[in-house]
Amino acid sequence: MNFKLLSASFGAILLTIHTSFGQITENPKVEESSVPYVKIKKVELTDVNTIIYLQFVERQSKQQPQFRSQPRMSPLPDSRIPQFPQQGISQSQIWLDPETRLYKPGEIDKKFKFIRAENITTTTKTSVANGDTVDFVAYFERLTPGIEEFDFYEGRSSNGNQSWNFYGIHVKNPLKKQPEKPSKPIAKATVPPAKKPAAKPAAKAPQKPAPAPAAKKEAEIAVLKGTVYNAKTKEPIAAQLSYIENGDTLQVRSSSGKYRVGVDAGEQYKFRVMARGYYGSSFGLAPGDSSGKSFDQDVYLTPLIVGETILLPNIYFETSKYTLLPESFEELNRLVDVMRDSPTVKIRVEGHTDNVGDFDKNLELSRQRAESVKNYLIEKGIESSRIEAKGYGGTRPLTKGSEEERKKNRRVEFVITEM
C-alpha cells in the first residue's frame, strides 16, 4: 500500500469516527411553528453543539404585491419601497435574534444559548426579494442527552416585527450509556512512619469575604399551551392566536388546533383566538400571578351555522339607557371581523333585559340596545341589509334564580339567519 492510499484510508477512518459522535435528524417533526415560510430542514447534535439547519422562502402574490410585517420580516420605509407593480417585485428583511434560546418544553430552566449563525445576520437586516430562498444555520449549546423534544424560541419582537418560534421539535438524542468502572484492587495496609507533631500555625485575623458579583437578571419565560376546539363537536380545529408583546401584535397559527406559546413571565397578556367559520374568543394571562411556569388553556369556539344563537359576552350600556360604553368595542370589533371574513352571513341582533320593572319599557329598551349594536356594525362598514335588530325585553330569561343570577338575563346575542 503506497503512502497516498494509506493517508486516504486513515482520513476516511477519522471522518467515520468524527461523524459517529453526532446525531442527525432530517426534516424533524415540529408540532407547531409561528410562521409557515421558515422550515427546519435538519438538526445535528455534535459533541459540543446543537446545529439547526433552516430555510426561509419569501413568497408573495404577484397580482397584489404587499409589504407585510411577518415574523422577523419588516416592511421597508416608504422611501425605499421598490416600485415594480407590474412584476409584483418586493423585498422583505430578515435576521436572527442572538437572544434566541432552546428550551425543554415545560422545563424552562433547561435552556441552551445561541452561539453563532451562518448565512444570516444577527445584528443587521438582510433584504430578500420575492421568490428568494435563504438556507441558514444556527448553532446553540449542546442539548443534554436524553432531551428528544425541544422548543426554538426567538420571542423578542420590536417595531412591528414578529419572531420565528418552533414548538415541539423532535430529534434523536438518546441518553449516553455510562461505562462500567473497573473495580480497583485493594492495597495492603502499611503503617506510616511516626512523625513529629507539626507546630500549630499562628491564628490569622478573619477576613471579610469579597461580595459576590451581581448576577445579570434574565427575563423568565413561561409556556402557554392548549387546544382550540369546536364547541359543538369537541373536535380540534385550525385556529389563529394573536396577542400583544412589548407593543407589537404577534400571531400564532395552528393547523392542528394545538398551540404552544412562550411568553415573558413578568408581563400580562390578552389572547384573541379566531378561526374561519367560528365566532372568536379571548382570554387573559398573567404568568407572574402564579408560581408555575407552564399554563394550560383550551378554547372552545362556536361554529357559525344557520339558527345558532351566540352570546356577545362583553357588551355594556349606560344604566337604564342604550348608549354603548367603550368597554364594548373590543367585543363588537370581533363581530365586525367575523362578518367581514364571511361576507354572506346575515344576523339578527337580539336584546334582552330582566323582568324587573315595567314590561313595555323593558321591551323598548332591549330593542334600542339591539339597534345600538346594529348601528355600530354599520358604522364599521357592514351593510345594513345583513343585520336585523329585535328586542325581547324579559320574555326569554336564562335563569330565575338569585339577583346575581338574574343579571345573566340582561344580555345581547346574535343569531345566524343566513349563510
- pTM passes above 0.85: no
| Contacts (Cβ under 8 Å, ≥6 apart) of 135 | 41, 53, 54, 55, 56, 119
Task: Using the predicted structure, report yes or no on whether residue 221 has a pLDDT greater than 50.
Answer: yes
Sign of torsion, CA 341 71 55 141?
Answer: negative
Supply the CATH classification number for the domain 19-170. 2.60.40
Task: Using the predicted structure, report yes or no on whether residue 392 has a pLDDT greater than 60.
Answer: yes
| Beta bridge partner(s), residue 389 | 349
pLDDT value of position 120 = 93
pLDDT value of position 159 = 57
| Mean pLDDT score of the chain | 78
Q: Model confidence over 314-343: pLDDT tens digits?
A: 899 998 899 999 999 999 998 998 899 889
Q: What span, in angstroms and rounded, lies between the C-alpha atoms of 72 and 158?
A: 9
Task: Using the predicted structure, report yes or no on whether residue 74 has a pLDDT greater than 60.
Answer: no
Domain ranges of the chain: 19-170, 221-303, 309-418
Q: What span, in angstroms and rounded, lies between the C-alpha atoms of 222 and 78?
A: 37
Location of C-alpha cell 433547561 = 110
- Cα separations in angstroms, 211 against 96, 204, 205: 37, 20, 18
pLDDT value of position 401 = 72
Per-residue cell: 379 = 358604522
Strand ranges for 119-218 from DSSP E:
126-129, 133-141, 149-153, 165-170
pLDDT value of position 137 = 96
Which CATH number, 3.40.640.10, 3.30.1330.60, 2.60.40.1930, 3.20.20.140, labels domain 309-418? 3.30.1330.60
Task: Using the predicted structure, report yes or no on whether residue 10 has a pLDDT greater than 50.
Answer: no
Q: What span, in angstroms and rounded, lies between the C-alpha atoms of 223 and 296?
A: 9
Q: What span, in angstroms and rounded, lies between the C-alpha atoms of 264 and 287?
A: 8
Average pLDDT over residues 190-195: 56
Q: What span, in angstroms and rounded, lies between the C-alpha atoms of 141 and 333?
A: 45
Sequence-separated contacts (24+) of 243-247 with Cβ below 8 Å:
243/269, 243/270, 243/271, 243/272, 244/269, 244/270, 245/157, 245/269, 246/156, 246/157, 246/158, 247/158
Task: Using the predicted structure, report yes or no on whether residue 13 has a pLDDT greater than 50.
Answer: no
Q: What span, in angstroms and rounded, lies between the C-alpha atoms of 252 and 231?
A: 21
Fold matches, 19-170 and 221-303: yes
Task: Using the predicted structure, report yes or no on whether residue 219 has a pLDDT greater than 90.
Answer: no
Location of C-alpha cell 452561539 = 115
Q: In percent, how much of the chain has pLDDT > 90?
A: 36
Task: Using the predicted structure, report yes or no on whether residue 3 has a pLDDT greater than 70.
Answer: no
Per-residue cell: 320 = 337604564
| Contacts (Cβ under 8 Å, ≥6 apart) of 69 | 75, 160, 161, 162
CATH architecture of 221-303: Sandwich (2.60)
Q: 118-139 b/e with 16+ CB inside 10 Å = b?
A: eebeeeeeeebebeeeeebbbb
CA nearest to 396, candidates 348, 362, 346, 347: 362
| β-bridge pairing 269-274 and 239-245 | antiparallel
First to last CA, the chain: 82
Task: Return the higher-pLDDT residue of 256 and 200.
Answer: 256
**Maximum alpha-carbon separation in the chain:** 113
- 3-state secondary structure string across 277-315: CEECEEEEECHHHCCCCEEECCEEEEECCCCCEEEECCC
